[in-house]
Amino acid sequence: MITTHPLHAARLKNNCPECFANDGLEFSFTQEQITKKLFTRAEKNISEKLYCHSCDNTIYPVNWNDDIERVYQYHKKQAKPKQTSLKLTKIGYLLMGGTLLCITLIAVVFYYNATGLN
């Protein structure tokens, strides 16, 4: 299952390149997280979106002016991504523990058979 987590959102006072309203722009930065039966992991890439609430349009980077680009760079630094390391679920920990236990038991049996200790 893939879920999207908001990292940072900010309303801007810049003019919209489409409708020229100066109170409707909003940057949002999100990160996807993959959840499986054994683990959860956050994706490395951060997706960003500039949306105008006045004209209900997504503003793509081709239409950004220099002011919007500067504000984007500032807010991109504010978005702190989640760690991308694997985090095991309960089932993952149980499976890992069971596997280690089996390997340990097999090693002990082979050790006693090899040394002749009965």
> For 102-112, what is each residue's pLDDT tens digit?
999 999 988 88
Mean pLDDT of 39-47: 86
- CA distance linking residue 79 with residue 71, whole number of Å: 13
Long-range CB contact pairs, 14-20, < 8 A, 24+ = 14/65, 14/67, 14/68, 14/71, 16/52, 16/54, 16/55, 16/57, 16/59, 17/59, 17/63, 17/64, 17/65, 17/68, 18/52, 18/55, 18/57, 18/59, 18/63, 19/52, 19/54, 19/55, 19/57
Q: What is the pLDDT of residue 118?
A: 58
Whether the pLDDT of residue 117 is over 70: the answer is no
Whether the pLDDT of residue 83 is over 90: the answer is no
Q: What is the pLDDT of residue 86?
A: 83
Mean pLDDT of 64-68: 88
